[in-house]
């Protein structure tokens, strides 16, 4: 094997250290200790973050070699655009997303189990499915909500800019989490009303979000499981990053409930990645590894969406790309 391939494979293997280092730095809040243009000495950063100075220096030097932070003279560190995005007060801060993975990072140890069995590796490592684990650990709820908002914040604007929701009077956000998505849609479309449907422990957090946004009177929060039923009363049903969490069999069950609730002229909107063909590197294929290992779902190709929708009583109508990795897959009752 040539030296070039050996060195490239070595760097790929060390990618685990890179992702873990980003999660650790985010959890410790190191990025908050630096203001862009004002490099800080490693002594201060270690003391303020309560870390071992020589080790912190080595991690920051490592991150700087990948474009996160920039080492200046005398072991001082300044921000780059990537590290600045880890500040808590950064617009669209990614800190919460990295913190979320800090708490569940061990789930990656289950990837080998996933490949061997097709089961979520997270379950083997943590002893429970990821959403059950979060529900059983109340402290994880706010971390998960903030993390998902961090991951999805740019997607929401991109979705609203790409897809026209005009004509939808009542939009149901199924599995709507803390209400960030439905809040953004209702704000963009002031004549629209909303329904947010999610489990009880999630619904309480959503109500707080809607009250804070002044949208509580325009959006009804209904508690329940989409594995058991989906409420009627909307003319469009939105699933953002829900369908990709589950197997085809589970999705057919979920969408089957939606088929019973949706009116004949209603719209089904699935907001997920659509995996392109070929060998090109793309975020949707990266995300598919998370789906395989953590919840046990998958990102799907256009053909897989068509097949899934047909099995659930729907017909795929359009796929609208956005400036992010997500697409809006629109389907109608068949």
The tokens for 240 are: 């953002």
- For residue 307, give both structure tokens: 């097949």
Question: For residues 102, 103, 109 and 114, what is the CA-based torsion angle, rounded to 10 degrees?
Answer: -110
The number of beta carbons lying within 10 Å of the beta carbon of residue 325 is: 20
Q: Say whether 244 is catalytic.
A: yes
Structure tokens belonging to residue 51: 């870390």
Query: Across-strand partners of 195?
Result: 172, 220
Q: Which residue has the tokens 């909303």?
A: 194
- Rounded Cα–Cα distance for residues 181 and 161 (Å): 14
Q: Which of 79, 102, 244, 327 is catalytic?
A: 244
Who's near 173: CB < 8 A, 6+ residues apart? 179, 181, 182, 185, 194, 195, 196, 197, 238, 240
How would you classify the pairing of strands 40-41 and 70-71? unpaired
Residues catalogued as catalytic = 244
């Amino acid at each position: 094997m040539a030296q070039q391939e050996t060195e490239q494979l070595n760097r790929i293997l060390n990618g685990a250290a890179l992702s873990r280092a980003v999660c650790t730095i985010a959890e410790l809040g190191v990025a908050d200790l630096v203001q862009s243009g004002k490099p800080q000495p490693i002594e201060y950063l270690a003391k303020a973050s309560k870390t071992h100075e020589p080790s912190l220096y080595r991690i920051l030097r490592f991150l700087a070699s990948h474009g996160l932070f920039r080492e200046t003279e005398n072991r001082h560190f300044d921000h780059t655009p990537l590290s600045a995005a880890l500040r808590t007060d950064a617009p669209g801060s990614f800190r919460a997303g990295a913190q979320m993975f800090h708490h569940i990072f061990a789930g990656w140890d289950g990837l080998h189990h996933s490949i061997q069995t097709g089961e979520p590796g997270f379950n083997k490592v943590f002893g429970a499915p990821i959403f059950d684990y979060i529900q059983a650990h109340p402290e994880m709820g706010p971390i998960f909500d903030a993390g998902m908002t961090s991951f999805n914040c740019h997607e929401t604007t991109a979705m609203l800019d790409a897809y026209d929701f005009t004509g939808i009077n009542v939009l149901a956000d199924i599995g709507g989490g803390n209400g960030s998505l439905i809040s953004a849609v209702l704000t963009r479309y002031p004549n629209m009303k909303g329904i947010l449907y999610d489990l009880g422990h999630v619904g309480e957090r959503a109500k707080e979000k809607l009250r804070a946004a002044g949208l509580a009177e325009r959006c009804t929060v209904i508690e329940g499981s989409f594995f058991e039923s989906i409420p009627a009363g909307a003319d469009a049903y939105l699933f953002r990053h829900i369908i990709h969490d589950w197997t085809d069999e589970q999705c057919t069950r979920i969408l089957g409930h939606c088929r019973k609730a949706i009116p004949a002229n209603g719209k089904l909107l699935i907001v997920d990645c659509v995996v392109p063909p070929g060998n090109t590197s793309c975020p949707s294929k990266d995300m598919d590894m998370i789906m395989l290992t953590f919840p046990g779902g998958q990102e799907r190709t256009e053909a897989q969406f068509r097949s899934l929708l047909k099995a659930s009583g729907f017909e795929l109508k359009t796929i609208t790309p956005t400036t992010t990795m997500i697409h809006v897959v629109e389907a109608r009752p068949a």
